[in-house]
Amino acid sequence: MTIYALSTANGVSGLAVIRISGHLALTALKTLSRKSNFETHKMSHIKIYDPDDGMHIDTGLGVYFAKPKSFTGEDVAELHIHGGISTINLVLNALGKIDQLRLAEPGEFTKRAFVNDKMDLTAIEAMGDLINAHTEVQHKLALSQMSGSLNKLYLSWRKKLIEIIAYLEAGIDFADEDIPHDVLKNIMKKIDELISDINLHISEKNQGEIIKDGFRIAIIGEPNVGKSSLINLLAKRDVAIVSEEAGTTRDAIEVTLNISGYPVIFTDTAGIREATNTIEKKGIDITHEKIADSHLVIELFDDKRKINQKKGRVSVLNKIDLINENEVTNLETLKISTKTNQGIDELINIISSHVVKDLSNISETIPTRTRYILGSQKIILSLSNAKNIDPINQTELFVEELRLAVNEIGRLTGLVDVEEYLEVIFKDFCIGK
């Protein structure tokens, strides 16, 4: 079946792209344009007509991509039209009048690219990350993994294991010949090296989580020290209620900002004090949970006598505009004013330094999904099981554990047994992707 859909965002725009994929893609392009000749990968100026009544719908561009050199690996055509809602709907309706054409399901274009070996699962997931990237670092990492950096890593593991399996299976076929001791020693060394490499990959999961989900910063302090004012100032908009009444913030309020190209999630928490009611106590309990989950804690004070420097926290004295400067001249704690903006740039620089420090030397192959971690752990389990088996007297069992490891790698890239992942992976894609 040939599928079609709007591939650009819904809504009014200067340009809209409608994609068609399948064996009738070129036929559809010719039918709507009344043009008989299209060269592959070359744009053509066309007029678009309704196939039933011949109404002129729009004037735009048409392009044909002959298989397999297309996004999906099938014949693909694109209509580049004006982005008015009426124009888009008329073109989609016109395509629907052509026999054996239907509207694509969410993620179906990308799914066809996977089925036709144009993309592996890691590249497809990275493409989803690229579409949803909000910061430079997210964009850079997603683009690298979409280009195959993560796939190359997993395939290198697979290649090493297949080489070992091939040698051992040759030994099984020629059972009368013992495996030389030095060769066996080299095999075990390679397995140990692979386990080490995979453990290194797993150890990068925290960086992957931060880049994908954000560097979490909790802003804490007693009621009315200026936590909500600070988060509003950082966000450059009102995201939290500011009030003179203590205990106004009862729940955690979050805002995500771009700091030095990294996603940073600031959390405005309930003021820490002895709770006066059940609701406030719940808010304070949430505050402690946010502190535990944070990569960095900024603790605000409005009284220099209460400042308590704690490891892993950035202590900040707020309301400096209300304090006699002579009283705090020698105070090493950062001094700010959310009212006058004093010290805010310095605070942002401090935050940036913490973020950059935690995310320095980012690898292009860091795992950005839980399934990469779980899959890697299963690979290590199989390799560890193999190490506990005598490769000389129990060669078949030894090889079987290595095969299990190879299969787990295949699940990561989509080479084997991944049907259970497909629905999950493609469900969040839009219809035009």
- DSSP H helices in 41-148: 85-96, 108-115, 121-131, 136-146
Give the three-state DSSP class for 37. Answer: coil
Architecture in CATH for domain 128-204+367-413: Up-down Bundle (1.20)
d(CA 409, CA 375): 7
Q: Return the number of other C-beta atoms located less than 10 Å from residue 410's C-beta.
A: 17
Structure confidence at residue 2 (pLDDT)? 96
Task: Please give the chain's pLDDT, 433 residues, in tens.
Answer: 999 999 998 888 899 999 999 999 999 999 999 999 999 999 999 999 999 999 999 999 999 999 999 999 999 999 999 999 999 999 999 999 999 999 999 889 999 999 999 999 999 999 989 988 888 889 999 999 999 999 999 999 999 998 888 877 765 544 445 555 666 788 889 999 999 999 999 999 988 888 888 899 988 888 888 888 888 888 887 665 444 444 444 456 888 888 888 889 988 876 554 555 555 556 566 666 777 788 889 988 888 788 877 777 888 888 888 877 766 666 778 888 889 999 999 999 999 988 888 776 778 899 999 999 999 999 999 999 999 998 878 888 998 999 999 999 999 998 876 565 566 556 666 666 6
d(CA 430, CA 80): 19
C-beta separation of 288 from 304 below 8 A: no
Structure confidence at residue 312 (pLDDT)? 75
What pTM does this model have? 0.76
Domain ranges in the chain are: 2-115, 128-204+367-413, 216-358
d(CA 154, CA 10): 37
Say what the alpha-carbon torsion angle 343, 347, 348, 352 is, to the nearest 10 degrees: 150
Architecture in CATH for domain 2-115: 2-Layer Sandwich (3.30)
Residue 330 carries which DSSP code? T
d(CA 298, CA 312): 9
Domain 216-358 sits in CATH 3.60.110.10:
no
